[in-house]
Amino acid sequence: MAKRYDLRRQPGFSQIAWFCIFMLYAPILMLVLFSFNDNRSVVKWTEFSFRWYTEAFANDGIRAAAVTSLKLALVASVFGTIFATMAALATTRTRPYRGMNLAYAIINQPLMIPEIVTAIASLSLFALIKQITGVTGIGYLMLAHTVFCVPFAYMPIRARLEDMTLTLEQAAADLYASPIRVFWEVTFPLLIPGVVSGAMLAFVVSLDDVIITLMVAGPGETTLPIFILGAIRRGITPEINAVSTILLAVSILLVAVFFLFQRKTKK
């Protein structure tokens, strides 16, 4: 009887896997470790301290950037999820129509386009709109983030809809429930795990974005990642490590919630 093929038994597989894991997580662990270092040096350890977290929370620039990032991510995740839900319903809860595959491709195309291209295109478009209308403000940045987050929210929502049976929705329709009532009382409650997963993913993507924000943001619209990028140009300090660790913790928490809801959708 032929032995079952097992990739883990191939020569060097375990060593390569552990090397990749080490190279991926060692820099992150070092960042977190030295964020608790009392010394200003990021390579010389002296003693454990929360000094740099205290200074980070007391820094007005960091606090303002964090508030801007949270506002931006919240708006982008809410509206991006709404549009993604509408798009998912239009590509799953309807009879197949001509152009459905094209619509699906258009929705997911931003995932395939390099982000720098999207950022430059957004910058050019918004610059033209500002020149014509004279309207400025953070709304352009919110719009850019919302559009960019739609495909990320769309994926888990569409996956949830595709896994949901139509039996309950058809039964509700047979009992003369209107399409809106079917959606709110049957479809949406079953869709909540996918919606939450999509919103969490969109929130993380918006919170961590640098390229689009760097291109589109105007004066006074500095987000936390942009603030960190600017501070690094002046030299890395433990304060930046502390801010990065906090941002990392928020991202890990949201991604963990995302995967928990993903597991729930498979049950």
Q: Is the pLDDT of residue 101 over 70?
A: yes
Tens of pLDDT, residue by residue over 11-41, are 777 788 889 899 888 888 888 888 888 887 7
For 67-83, what is the mean pLDDT?
A: 93
Q: What is the pLDDT of residue 4?
A: 64
Distance separating alpha carbons of residues 257 and 195, to the nearest angstrom? 12
* C-alpha closest to that of 265 among 155, 151, 159: 159
Structure confidence at residue 1 (pLDDT): 45
DSSP conformational letter for 166: S
Region of poorest pLDDT, from 104-113, 160-169, 250-259: 250-259
Which CATH architecture best describes the domain 62-266? Orthogonal Bundle (1.10)
pLDDT band at 74 (very low <50, low <70, confident <90, very high): very high
Which residues of the chain form beta strands (DSSP E)? Answer: none
Percentage of the chain with pLDDT > 90?
11
pLDDT in tens, 152-171: 999 989 988 888 877 888 88
Secondary structure tally for the chain: helices H, strands E: 12, 0
For position 252, what pLDDT does the model report?
82
**Predicted local distance difference test score (pLDDT) of residue 3:** 58
Task: Determine the Cα–Cα distance for residues 80 and 237; give it in Å rounded to an integer.
Answer: 35
Residue 136: its pLDDT value, please? 83
Per-residue confidence band for 262, with pLDDT thresholds at 50, 70 and 90: low
| Residues in Cβ contact with 226 at an 8 Å cutoff, skipping those fewer than 6 apart | 65, 210, 213, 214, 217
